[in-house]
Chain A
Amino acid sequence: MFQFARFAATRAVMALITLMIVSLVVFSLMELVPGDCAERYLAYKNTQGSAITLADIEAERVRLGLDRPFLTRWASWLSGAFRGEFGDSCILRVNIAQLLGDKFWISLWICLGSLILAYAIAIPVGIISAASRNALLNNSLRIVSYLGLAMPNFLLALMIMLVSTVYFGETLTGLFSPEYKDAPWSWDKFVDLLSHAWLPIFILGWSATAFALQTVRALMSDEIGKLYVTAAEARGIHGVRLLWRYPARHSLGPIVNSLGFDLNRIFNELPIVALILTLTEAGSLLLESLARSNDQQLAGAIIFLLTASIVTLNFLTDMLLAVIDPRVRKSILR
C-alpha cells in the first residue's frame, strides 16, 4: 500500500511538472501574439477621441504589471490559474471565469461523450477486424468506421443540419432551447442539453473512431498470434470468450493509457463543428478568441483548462491501469 502511495505521488508530481511545462508553452504563445493589454486599453481610448502618447502606454503597462519580467508574470498567471482565477479579458473587459461559466464543462463533457462513443464502436469492431476471417463483414465495418475520418466534420454537420431543416423542419443548432438558455441548472435543462448535444457527440465520436479503431486493430493483431492465445485455444476456449479473456485484455492496456491524448485530438475538432452548429461552448469561444479577436487571456485560459483536464485524465488512467493490470501493479510493488 505504501508503495502504491509512493507511485501515485510520483505520478502526481510528474503530472504537475508536465502541466507547468505546458503552461509555459501556452503563456509564451500568448505573449508572442502582437499587442498587449495596455495597448488594447489605450487603443480603445483613442477611438473615443482622447489623444494618447507613448508615455501613456508605458504608464498603463506599469499599472497592469506588464513591465515585470516574463517569468514573474508567468508565475503569477500560473498561481492564479491553479486557483481558477484567470483575470480579465482585455478585449471584452469581463472576468474570464464569469465569461466561461459552464461553457468549458459542457465542452469537456461533449468531448468525453464522443470519446466513449468512439471506443464503444472501435473496441468491438477492432477485435472483429483483427480476428475475423469474414472479409465482407470485416471490410464493411472498417469502411463505415473510416468514413467518419474521411468525411470532413464540418461537411457532416452541414449535411445533417440541411437534411433536418429541409425534411423535418427542425434546426439542430445550438445547445439549449430558448427557454432554458439562461435558466439555472435543473433536470429539465440537462435533458434539453442532451437532446441537442447528441449531434456534436455523434459527429466527433464518429471521426475519432477511425484512429481508435486503427490502434485497437494493430494491438489486437500483435497479440492474437502469440503463443498464450494458442495455448488457451488448445485448452478448449474459443470464440468471443477466448478473444475477450486473452488477447483483448492485453491489448487494451495501452489504449487506456492514451485516452488523455485522444481527448486532446477530439477537442481539436470541436471548434469547427461548434462553429457550424453554433454551439455556445468553449471550443467556438477559443476559435473566436484566437482567430478573430486575438483575445490572448481568454484563449490562454481555455487552453490551460483543457491541458489540465488532459493531464488529470492521464493521471487517472495511470492509476486505473495500476489497479486493474497485475503486471503494472507488480512492477510498482516490487
Chain B
Amino acid sequence: MTTATNQKAKEAYFTASQGQLIWARFKKQKAAMIAACVLLALILSGMFAPFLSPYDPTVAGRDKDYLNGAPQIPKFCDENGCSMRPFLYTVTRERSLATNFRWVEKINKDERRYMQFFVKGDDYKLFGFIPGNIHLFGMDEGYVHLFGTDSAGKDIFSRTLHAIWTSLQVGTMGVVISFVLALVIGGISGYYGGWLDSVIQMVTDAIRTVPAIPLFMAIAAFIPPEWSAETRFFFISMILGLIGWPTLARRVRTHLLTERNQEYVLAARLCGASPSHIIRRHLLPSFTSYIIVDLVISFPYMVLSETALSFIGLGLKDPVNSLGVMLQNVTKADVLLNYQWYFIPVIFFIALVMAFVFVGDGLRDAADPYSETRK
C-alpha cells in the first residue's frame, strides 16, 4: 500500500511541470506563504478598493463636518446594552468663542448610528469601467471613518485602499517597461557577445552610474504643470521603467552568456534555427523562473521610487491617491504630534514592501532546483 502511494508520489514528482515544482517548494516556506497571503489580501483590497471603501477618496467624498477627525471604531456593546449590528455614537463638533476656537467634540452616547452593509453610496467605476454605487459598508446616517479623516475631511481608509492600487499600477507599469527593455538589450548583449556586448555593457554601466533621483528630478521638472493627474501618472511610471532596466539587463546577459555555450543551443543551431528562434524558444524558457523572481524583487523598489519622487513633490500630486502622496502627508510636525492616525497608511506601505520582499525571497528559493537537495 505504502509503496503504491510512494510510487504515485514519485510519479507525480517526475511528471510535474516546472511551475508545479516551484509551487510545491514554495508552499513549504512558512514565512513566504504568510507574506504571499498578505500580498494577495493587499492586492485584492486595492483591486476592489471602490467597493470596499465606504466613500469616494477625492474631495467629492469628503465629510466637511469632520476635518482632521480621529478614527471611529464601531462597537457592539456599551453600558446601554449590546446590539448585533455595530454602531457609533453621534458626535457633534463645535468651534466657537466659548471653546477658544478649538474643535471640541461632544459624544452623545444615547444616540446610536448603526452600520449597514451593501449600502448605496458614491458612484464609482470598478477596474475603470464597471459602474457601480454599492459599497461594502456604510452608516444609516452620517459617516464612518475607520482610519479618521485628513485636513480636507477625506476618509483615510478609502484613500489608503485606492492608494495601494495606484502604487501597484505605477509599479507594474514601471516593471513591465524596464522588463521589456532589459530582455531586449540584455538578450542581444548576452547572445551575440563580443564587441557588441562590450559596447552595450559600457552604455549600461554609464546609465547605472548616473544617480537616479537627480535624473528623476531633472526629467520630472519637464512635466508641464498643466498636465492632468492621469498623464502625469503615466509619465512617472514610464520614467521609472526607463531608468530601472540596467540591473535586470545585466542579469539576463550574464545568464545568456553562460547558457549559450550549452549543448542544446549548439544542437539547435546545427539544425539551422535562427538566432531569434533560439533566444525565444530555448534560452528564455531556461530562465523564466529567474526572470519572475527578479520581477518580484524589483517591484518594491519601483514602489519606493514612486514614493520618494512623490515625497519630494515631483511625482504624483494630491487628487491622485498613491502611497507616496499619503506618506508625504505625515511629515508635518503638526501631524506627528496631533493627528497620529495619518500614520495608518504607512503601516500598509510597510506591509506591502515587506510582503513583496519575502515573497521574492521565497520564490527565489523555490525556483532554485538545488534547494531541495540541500535540506
Which residues of A come within 8 Å of B, CB atoms?
Answer: 14, 17-18, 21-22, 25-26, 29, 32-33, 133, 135, 139, 142-143, 146-147, 149-152, 154-155, 158, 162, 210-211, 214, 217-218, 221-222, 224-225, 260-261, 264, 267-269, 271-272, 276, 286-287, 290-291, 294, 299, 302-303, 306-307, 310-311, 314
Q: A18-B209, A22-B209 known; A155 and B327 CB under 8 Å?
A: yes
CA gap between A303 and B358 in the complex, in Å = 34
B213 proximity list for chain A (CB < 8 A): 268-269, 271
Which of the residues A152, A222, A261 comes within 8 Å of B346, measured between beta carbons? A152
Listed residue (B211, B312, B374) with the most chain A CB atoms within 10 angstroms of its CB:
B211
Which of the residues A133, A155, A225 comes within 8 Å of B373, measured between beta carbons? A225
Chain B 326-337 interface 0/1 with A at a Cβ cutoff of 8 Å (1 = within): 010011000010
Query: Does the CB pair B312–A146 fall under 8 Å?
Result: no
B361 proximity list for chain A (CB < 8 A): 142, 214, 217
A117 to chain B, nearest CB (A): 19
Closest 7 CB pairs of A and B: A225-B370, A150-B353, A21-B206, A268-B213, A150-B350, A290-B217, A29-B218
Q: Which residue of B lies closest to A29 (CB)?
A: B218
Query: Does the CB pair B354–A272 fall under 8 Å?
Result: no
CA gap between A217 and B358 in the complex, in Å = 12
Q: What are 6 residue pairs bridging A and B, where the CB atoms are less than 8 Å apart in the complex?
A: A14-B202, A22-B206, A210-B357, A268-B308, A287-B312, A294-B221
Chain B 363-375 interface 0/1 with A at a Cβ cutoff of 8 Å (1 = within): 0110010110111
State the interface size on chain B (CB cutoff 8 A).
51
Query: Does the CB pair A269–B30 fall under 8 Å?
Result: no
Chain B 186-226 interface 0/1 with A at a Cβ cutoff of 8 Å (1 = within): 00000000000000001101111111111101100110000
Q: Which residue of B lies closest to A275 (CB)?
A: B312
A125 to chain B, nearest CB (A): 12
Which of the residues A18, A210, A261, A307 comes within 8 Å of B202, measured between beta carbons? A18
Query: Does the CB pair A272–B353 fall under 8 Å?
Result: no
Query: Does the CB pair B364–A218 fall under 8 Å?
Result: yes
A229 to chain B, nearest CB (A): 9
Query: Does the CB pair B331–A158 fall under 8 Å?
Result: yes
Q: A150-B357, A154-B311 known; A286 and B371 CB under 8 Å?
A: no
Query: Does the CB pair B210–A221 fall under 8 Å?
Result: no
CA gap between A291 and B222 in the complex, in Å = 11
Query: Does the CB pair B364–A221 fall under 8 Å?
Result: yes
B341 to chain A, nearest CB (A): 15
Tell me if B51 is interfacial: C-beta within 8 Å of chain A.
no
A224 proximity list for chain B (CB < 8 A): 374
Q: A149-B304, A149-B353 known; A290 and B214 CB under 8 Å?
A: yes
A256 to chain B, nearest CB (A): 16
Query: Does the CB pair A155–B330 fall under 8 Å?
Result: yes
A290 proximity list for chain B (CB < 8 A): 214, 217-218, 221
Query: Does the CB pair A291–B353 fall under 8 Å?
Result: no
Query: Does the CB pair B218–A162 fall under 8 Å?
Result: no
A21 to chain B, nearest CB (A): 4
A306 proximity list for chain B (CB < 8 A): 211
Query: Does the CB pair A147–B206 fall under 8 Å?
Result: no
Additional A-B contact list (19), CB under 8 Å, known A22-B209, A214-B297: A21-B203, A25-B210, A33-B218, A33-B221, A142-B31, A142-B361, A146-B353, A146-B357, A149-B357, A152-B304, A154-B311, A155-B330, A214-B357, A225-B368, A268-B212, A272-B311, A290-B214, A291-B221, A307-B211
CA gap between A291 and B314 in the complex, in Å = 8
CA gap between A312 and B210 in the complex, in Å = 14
B301 proximity list for chain A (CB < 8 A): 211
B336 proximity list for chain A (CB < 8 A): 158, 162
Which of the residues B358, B364, B365, B373 comes within 8 Å of A146, measured between beta carbons? B358
Tell me if B178 is interfacial: C-beta within 8 Å of chain A.
no
Q: Which residue of B lies closest to A14 (CB)?
A: B202
Q: A149-B304, A154-B311, A264-B208 known; A133 and B218 CB under 8 Å?
A: no
Listed residue (A150, A214, A306) with the most chain B CB atoms within 10 angstroms of its CB:
A150
B358 proximity list for chain A (CB < 8 A): 142, 146
A184 to chain B, nearest CB (A): 30
Which of the residues A21, A25, A225 comes within 8 Å of B374, measured between beta carbons? A225
A199 to chain B, nearest CB (A): 17
CA gap between A154 and B370 in the complex, in Å = 40
CA gap between A260 and B218 in the complex, in Å = 22
Chain B 143-178 interface 0/1 with A at a Cβ cutoff of 8 Å (1 = within): 000000000000000000000000000000000000
A291 proximity list for chain B (CB < 8 A): 217, 221, 312-314
Which of the residues B202, B218, B304, B351 comes within 8 Å of A17, measured between beta carbons? B202
